[in-house]
Amino acid sequence: MLVGTRAFYVTYFVSTTNKGCVLVADVVIEVKDLYKFFEVGSSKVHALDGVDFKVYEGEFCAIVGTSGSGKSTLLNMLAGLEKPTRGEVIIDGHHIEKMNEKKLVKFRRDNVGFIFQSFNLLGTMTALENVAMPLSFRGMSKEIRLKRAMKMLKLVGLKEHAMHKPNQMSGGQQQRVGMARALVVNPKIMFADEPTGNLDSKTSKAMMKLMREVVNKHHKTLVMVTHDDSLAAIADRVIRIVDGKIVKIEDHRQMDELQEDKGNEE
């Protein structure tokens, strides 16, 4: 069985030590033969060069690479913010590479939550108002919007900061507000782009722990882009990308089980 921070819902991951594991969750993200080329003068730059992988429901997946590796371009493709040169991006059964901008906006609004490196909070709004803002496009009354936003602030441990504006909060607190804002629409999938890039090491670890808890307790699928191996270690799987190609996929759940088995045998 799985222990520690990566405890999973039984509906997601059924596993038995040396007998292998069985994945019973739905595939929520599937990337097939994905390419992205950019013209730079007379040269063609391969930002993504034949990328294939899947992400399962309730999984925390980290895409790791150095600057220029293609990881941010890949995240933009998954979020429908950029179009691939060729290939397929299937999110929850929908081919988003075929959608026009109007359909993409609706799809993101209904299915996706974003956590940004730079927080992207509106300075004139309180934490509560920032979190409630995405709900204003859904025809909800102000009372319902604020009630749901307060619930999300409580979830991330910031209920007492609800009436504070961004300049009255630390970087870590602002990022928690950003997470609450991403969660308030109850997204099926969450994308995080270097979410700890503007945080110190201690605050970064606390933020990663919170992200892990959200995935576990609320059964969210989370895809995070990072350059930091120590932060990626908390993910269920790590996809390593170099020069636009996936060079390695590490499954930390299997590693946890192997270590547990070894300890039991001793």
Q: Cβ distance 91 to 81 under 8 Å?
A: no
Tokens of 102: 């109007």
Q: Give start and end residues of each alpha helix (H) in 184-245.
A: 201-218, 229-232
Kindly report the CA angle at 200 between 245 and 158, in degrees rounded to 5? 105
Q: Cβ distance 56 to 27 under 8 Å?
A: yes
Domain ranges in the chain are 59-84+93-251
Output Rg (C-alpha) for the chain, integer angstroms: 19
Q: Residue 120: what residue type?
A: N
Q: Which homologous superfamily does the CATH classification assign to the domain defined by 59-84+93-251? A: P-loop containing nucleotide triphosphate hydrolases (3.40.50.300)
**Phi then psi for 48, rounded to 5 degrees?**
-130, 135
**How far is residue 159 from each of residues 170, 174, 220, measured CA to CA in Å?**
15, 13, 22
The model's pTM is 0.83
Q: Provide the residue count of the chain.
A: 266
Full pLDDT tens readout for the chain, 266 residues? 333 344 433 334 443 344 445 445 689 999 999 999 988 888 888 999 999 999 999 999 999 999 889 999 999 999 999 999 999 999 999 999 999 999 999 999 889 999 988 889 999 999 999 999 999 888 889 999 999 999 999 999 999 999 999 999 999 999 999 999 999 999 999 999 999 888 998 999 999 999 999 999 888 999 999 999 999 999 999 999 999 999 999 998 765 544 444 455 55
